[in-house]
Amino acid sequence: MVEISEKELLEKLKVNFGYDSFRLKQKTIIENILAKKDTLVIMPTGGGKSICFQLPALFFQGITIVISPLIALMKDQVDSLKANGIPATYYNSSQSQQEQQAVFNAVANKTIKLLYVAPESLPLLQNILNQNYVSCVAIDEAHCISAWGHDFRPSYKQLSFLKKSLPEVPIVALTATADKATQEDILGQLSVPHATKFVSSFNRENIALEVRPANDRVQQIIKFIQKRPSESGIVYCLSRKATEQLASKLQQKGIDAKAYHAGLTFDERAKTQEDFIKDEVAIICATIAFGMGIDKSNVRWVIHYNMPKNIEGYYQEIGRAGRDGLPSQALLFHSYADVIQLRQFIANTGNKEVQEAKLERMKQFSEATVCRRKILLSYFGELIEENCGNCDVCKNPPKFFDGTIIAQKALSAIYRLQQKEAMGTVIDVVRGAKNAAVYDKNYQTLKTYGVGRDISWQHWQHYIVQLINQGYCQIAFHLNNVLQLTDFSKKILFDGEKVQLTTPVEFKKETKTAARERKSKAKRTPALQDSLFERLRKLRYRIAQEEDIAAYLVFSDATLRQLEIERPQTDDEFLAISGVGQRKLEVYGGEFMEEINTFIKEKKKGKKDTTLETFKLYKEGFSIEEIAVKRKLKAQTIFSHLSKLYLEGKDVSLDEFIDANTLKLIGNAKKVLKNETALKPYFEFLGEKISYEQIRIGLTILQKKR
Ligand code: ADP
Ligand code: ZN
């Protein structure tokens, strides 16, 4: 292999992927692969593993075969490569014989650079699996080959023969999770024991970590979402029922959410997942089954409605946020009820001790009073010196106070209740509650009854949890979760030891005045809908629909943000944006720059409503083309103004732009395609004879009629 200079690498990175510099260890990894050395890459989700083998593929003579476990993932990656103008395809058992033959021809004629295939289909590729055709093999999700990893797949076992049949070809194994033992196992299984290893930090700096007590969860979630309109997010719940209930509560608030769990049919799940990927639905309330094999880069936040059962799971789930590197949020709700429930689950499973220990670590993380990222990373064996500055503890360090008297009240209540009551009743007693739990057992006569009236129920809960964490009392999980004293309790009750407690962080419900203020402020500040980002997002959505690909494959959120800030006006300026390569400039540049221009012009004109201006000219009798020329906009833009006016019920007649027969054909297609919204399926269904423009007009008219 001829030596390739850094300049050449950077050039290809820009032209084909739109990026200006390498991240982390990408460059050395790529050089290693180009030197035909076997390579193991451990990099966190969103770290940028794909480019490590996709970029070398462009330099190799033959193809790079990419082994990937899920068809959905393959399709996504192939779409993404194609959007960047890189010839790639996939091979799988669901393709017709013709399609499969086309793949073979493409390999023989060297018209593709990358071929994606599932491990089980590999034996069917025998006739091309030789060194004349294949220059590199990349194995994605490589931990699946190891029984020690967390997601072993038997079909990955077949990969061990690769090195034997292709001894000269570099094997590249990539994964986001593999501890030391799993790493060795992967290399052994693949017969590449001497592969060069590249292990990156696990840290995902852009994900802000936050834990809140689980009071009024639904309200808190609604508020959280309302602050972030039109952002994509996932809420993980423990049960199917919870996903459905939450989704329906969010819908009632006008929030665009859907439920996802294993109880839905395969088709329902596939549809929901696709809607999410394509930005058709913003929020998914899901059990943990959701998210595997989703590459969507613009998931902005992940909420855990319930506490996960271990840190591995938690980290994997929050890792689905912010793959594009932009600031993202991970919010976990911590409740004691969840801990108790998880313990019950664990009690009925195998290796109970290990699981209990893992749950305990999860609980410690949730209750931490030091930097949470330090705790997370140390769990994975990585130590950081500095506090992260991007977790709730760092941003809002806990305030300690002398809580000795509070502790004495709680512990003596536990003592007087003869260590036979759970936390709820203990709190009821100190607060002097007048309910059945108290009166049935005559607890109102106890000496500690009502000694802590001045402290709210939730604050008591917060303090008692801290006492448990510091070992001053404990929950007897095997005895209906009653609170018991420990050896340490004495020190407080009798030996005058002092206790430090933290003040609870308040998440107040919004008062009526505050709500009014917020709304009127929203009115004064320009609505989000008017922001350039929002308009670029809508344009991206429309293009993605037409091409029938996921919106983030057109441009990532990070690229839209940069477009919003830089507002490029020329091809060169547009190309300078991170995420814009040669093909994307050619295909999308014009439309995006036009949108930016329109936005700037409108701003100058004091935000005169652009559609109304079109409407005025239309009423004066000008044709679409004439209006386009007058307004220096594309005909397509004028048309979209007219559609909008039409749907709003303004006096615009779209019928004159389409003949009755075409409309009928589209109406028919709409039935067959079950009200599909993407334009491409119509275009194909109608034999590619009716233009996208006409299809769009037809669908607008049909929508109004309905
Ligand atoms: P992984 O497979 O490791 O989870 P991806 O390969 O999907 O991550 O990359 C995550 C995101 O980061 C993608 O949107 C990708 O385009 C982007 N990315 C990768 N490398 C770079 C780079 N050098 N500069 C900017 N963005 C990058
Ligand atoms: Zn921190």
Task: Enter the pTM of the model.
Answer: 0.76
Q: Which residues contact 361 (CB under 8 A, 6 or more apart)?
A: 310, 311, 379
Flag residues of the chain having pLDDT under 70. Answer: 1-2, 149-150, 293, 506-530, 606-608, 706
Ligand 1 pocket, residues with Cβ under 6 angstroms: 19, 22-23, 26, 43, 45-51, 295, 297, 323-324, 556, 578
- Pairing of the two strands 473-476 and 482-485: antiparallel
Q: Which residues contact 555 (CB under 8 A, 6 or more apart)?
A: 536, 540, 563, 579, 580, 584, 588, 592
H and E: helices and strands count for the chain? 32, 17
Q: How far apart are CA 80 and CA 164, in angstroms?
A: 31
Would you say 363 and 477 are in contact if contact means Cβ atoms under 8 Å apart? no
Q: From ligand 2's centre to the CA of 391, what distance in Å?
A: 4
Q: Which residues contact 588 (CB under 8 A, 6 or more apart)?
A: 543, 554, 555
Mutate to test the pocket of ligand 1, among 42, 50, 202 (most ligand atoms within 8 A of CB): 50
The pLDDT value recorded for residue 513 is 62
The pLDDT value recorded for residue 68 is 92
Q: From ligand 2's centre to the CA of 565, what distance in Å?
A: 29
The pLDDT value recorded for residue 526 is 44
HEC profile for 259-290?
EECCCCCHHHHHHHHHHHHCCCCCEEEECCCC
Q: How far apart are CA 139 and CA 156, in angstroms?
A: 9
Tokens of 3: 């030596």
Beta strand segments in 493-589, E: 500-502
State CA 560 to chain mean position distance.
17
Residues with Cβ–ion distance below 5 A, ligand 2? 371, 373, 387-388, 391, 394
* Long-range contacts (CB closer than 8 Å, 24 or more residues apart) made by 604-613: 607/530, 610/641, 611/641, 611/644, 611/645
Q: In terms of C-beta density within 10 A (0-12 exposed, 13-18 middle, 19 or more buried), how is residue 514 classed?
A: exposed
Look at residue 258 and give its three-state secondary structure. Answer: strand
Q: How far is CA 444 from CA 211, 319, 416, 438, 440, in A?
A: 35, 50, 12, 6, 10
∠ CA 597-601-602, rounded to 5° = 115
Q: Which residues contact 697 (CB under 8 A, 6 or more apart)?
A: 639, 643, 654, 657, 658
Q: From ligand 1's centre to the CA of 141, what distance in Å?
A: 15
State CA 32 to chain mean position distance.
31
Length of the chain: 706
Dihedral sign of CA atoms 524, 525, 531, 537 in order: negative
Residue whose CA is closest, atom 14 of ligand 1?
Answer: 324
Mutate to test the pocket of ligand 1, among 10, 15, 17 (most ligand atoms within 8 A of CB): 17
